Structure 1
Amino acid sequence: MVQSEKSNARMLRGECFCRAVRYSVADEFAYSMNCHCSNCRRATGSAFKPFAGISRDRFAVVSGGDRLLIYGDETAHDAHCGSCGSLLFSVVREGTFVHVTMGTLLDEPSIRPNAHIFVGSKAPWYAITDSLPQYQEHVVAR
């Protein structure tokens, strides 16, 4: 881990399964959740996708950017490694935020998921056993 030049935040490292694509991200995540939507389940091959959200300018692909396979457009897309298929991050919120897939982080982030979202479409074979709040769809702002 290194320090960010923009702030005193620790910089975390992440990479895909085959290590062809590597990224760095400031340990300044704004939120973190477990998404159970069918798209996240299909993209990860898992029951849910743990992710952490951060401003896009606090995230950078440091190597292998030419190997990224992008599904979507500049303002909303999933970025996979074109070699191994790992889902590394998603660009969301009209291109202003990145959702980092927490399973691709090499370093431990200070944030932990604090809710389950889209449990209305979760895998029927998976039982949520923790005490985190559950939302049928996305978290509703109050």
Structure 2
Amino acid sequence: MSLQPASGHRMLSGECVCGDVHYCVEDSFLYALNCHCSQCRKATGSAFKPLAGIERDKFSVVKGGDALLIFGEENGHDARCKRCGSHLYCVVRDGEYVHVSLGSLVDTPSIRPTAHIFVGSKAPWYTITDDLPQHQELP
């Protein structure tokens, strides 16, 4: 997607597996992390969730808002597609920020994960093999 908001940052697109839900997000993420907490592992069915955080007003669902399955409250929830179950994003930090599941992006963000968090509860069968910093909880 080649859209560019007034801020000058390019816009990235993301979507679920079945295509019912599409979103756009500004390519101005504040941080990107690999989260190994038990909640992220359960939500994704994998060893960890690569996520990128951004202010909520820089993210919007552009198609299929009515196709979202929301777990939680307005200011703190996980969002999935009702039909295919894709984990798309989480609203966090009292509703001020969104954690985008990096795997749901269609476009390549300029940011890369810089650390592993909650490795104190990582899956015992998974070995971290990169050189990124590892934090037992939040840094």
TM-score by length of 2: 0.98
> 4+ runs of 1 displaced by more than 2 Å?
2-6
Q: Give 1:24's aligned residue.
A: 24
Q: Give secondary structure in 2 for the equivalent of 1:62.
A: strand
Q: Give 1:111's aligned residue.
A: 111
Cα offsets for 1:77-117 (capped at 9, x unmatched)? 00010111111000001000000000000000000000000
Q: Distance in 1 between matches of 2:2 and 2:75?
A: 28
Task: Report the Cα offset of residue 4 of structure 1.
Answer: 3.1
Instruction: Name the aligned partner's letter for residue 35 of structure 1.
Output: C
Q: Give 1:79's aligned residue.
A: 79
Task: Report the Cα offset of residue 124 of structure 1.
Answer: 0.4
* Corresponding residue pairs, total: 139
Q: Give secondary structure in 1 for the equivalent of 2:43.
A: helix
Q: Distance in 2 between matches of 1:10 and 1:125?
A: 38
Q: Distance in 2 between matches of 1:53 and 1:120?
A: 21
Q: Give secondary structure in 1 for the equivalent of 2:136.
A: coil
TM-score by length of 1: 0.96
Q: Give 1:49's aligned residue.
A: 49
> Quick check: 2:5–2:11 contact (8 Å CA) kept in 1?
no
> Mapping of 1:7-22 within 5 angstroms?
7-22=7-22
Instruction: Name the aligned partner's letter for residue 125 of structure 1.
Output: W
Task: Report the Cα offset of residue 3 of structure 1.
Answer: 3.0
Gaps of 5+ in 1: none
Gaps of 5+ in 2: none
